[in-house]
Amino acid sequence: MAPLDVVADRIREAHRLTVLSGAGISAASGIPTFRGGDGLWRRVRAETIATPEAFAADPRLVWEWYDWRRQMLLAARPNPAHEVLARWTRSRPGVTLVTQNVDGLLERAGADPIVRLHGSIWHLRCCQPCAAGRDDWRDETAPLATLPPRCPHCGGIARPAVTWFGEPLDLEALDEAAGASRACDVFLAVGTSALVYPAAGLLPHARAHGAVTVEINTETTGASDLVDVALRGKAEEVLAAIDKRLDS
């Protein structure tokens, strides 16, 4: 049996499927990944942008980078990888979709619910935080009118509500992701280099609890040696091919 058919069978039979997605699922929408050939972290060092220290040193510079990405994302559209995963969240019982992506493309494809491990580039947070502005707020304008943007409550500097290196993940999201990894029959990692923890620990966690583990990626990753089935290919094509088999 071809690996694609095996994976489709496993997913069809699964009571619980947990998917971990990464930047690779947005590549077909024209959004650069972080560590690929033209990856974002190859053009600029992550420490100079995606850390609390970088933001404290130069909030405007950090915001210019996020504003550039927000503009690129606003012009982009979800691709079949987002669409298949979004459809599964709505139509297949027992599916938990966990993402490291902050780009909002899964949400725009209609994914619901979705466990966001690294926050959202479309959410802002007051840095203080002020009493009135404790909660994140949504702002979909790009480019932003002023950089850095300000908290509408206290006028203080706002930051992107994303997880930076050296910061803890949202514990509720992590808890939900870990629980879904423990409980699933099939764990599918798609379009992620599986290098950034704690997200990268979810697949071994699922495997240790008996899940069949599958990877979809154009390249070999840190997870490739661990998984039961490694499907080499583009997420937008492989997911569409699996989805077609599920329907037939």
Catalytic residue numbers read: 118
**Between 26 and 154, CB nearer to ligand OAD:** 26
CA 111 vs CA 36, 67, 85, 125, 184: distances in Å: 25, 24, 7, 23, 19
- The full DSSP string for the chain is --HHHHHHHHHHH-S-EEEEE-GGGGGGGT---SSSTT-HHHHS-GGGTSSHHHHHH-HHHHHHHHHHHHHHHHH----HHHHHHHHHHHHSTTEEEEE---S-HHHHTT--S-EESSEEEEEEEESS--STT-S-EE---SS-SSSS-B-TTT-PBEEEEEPPTTSPPPHHHHHHHHHHHHH-SEEEEES--S-STTGGGHHHHHHHTT-EEEEEESS--TTTTT-SEEEES-HHHHHHHHHHHHH-
* Residue placing its CB nearer to ligand OAD in the complex, 89 or 100: 100
CB of 93 vs ligand OAD, minimal distance in Å = 26
CA distance 54 to 48: 5
What is the closest distance, in whole angstroms, from the C-beta atom of residue 132 to ligand OAD in the complex? Answer: 28
The answer to whether 178 and 203 have CB atoms below 8 angstroms apart is no
Interface positions with ligand OAD (CB under 6 A): 22-24, 27-28, 33-36, 39, 46, 50, 100, 118, 163, 191-193, 195-196, 216-219, 221, 234-235
Q: How far is the CB of 127 from ligand OAD (least distance, A)?
A: 18
CB of 76 to ligand OAD, least distance (A): 14
Q: How far is the CB of 15 from ligand OAD (least distance, A)?
A: 26
| CB closer to ligand OAD out of 33 and 120 | 33
Residue 106 or 132 with smaller CB distance to ligand OAD: 106
CB nearer to ligand OAD: pick between 1 and 197: 197
Residue 83: name the closest of 149, 41, 44, 26 by CA.
26
Return the residue nearest ligand OAD (CB atom).
24
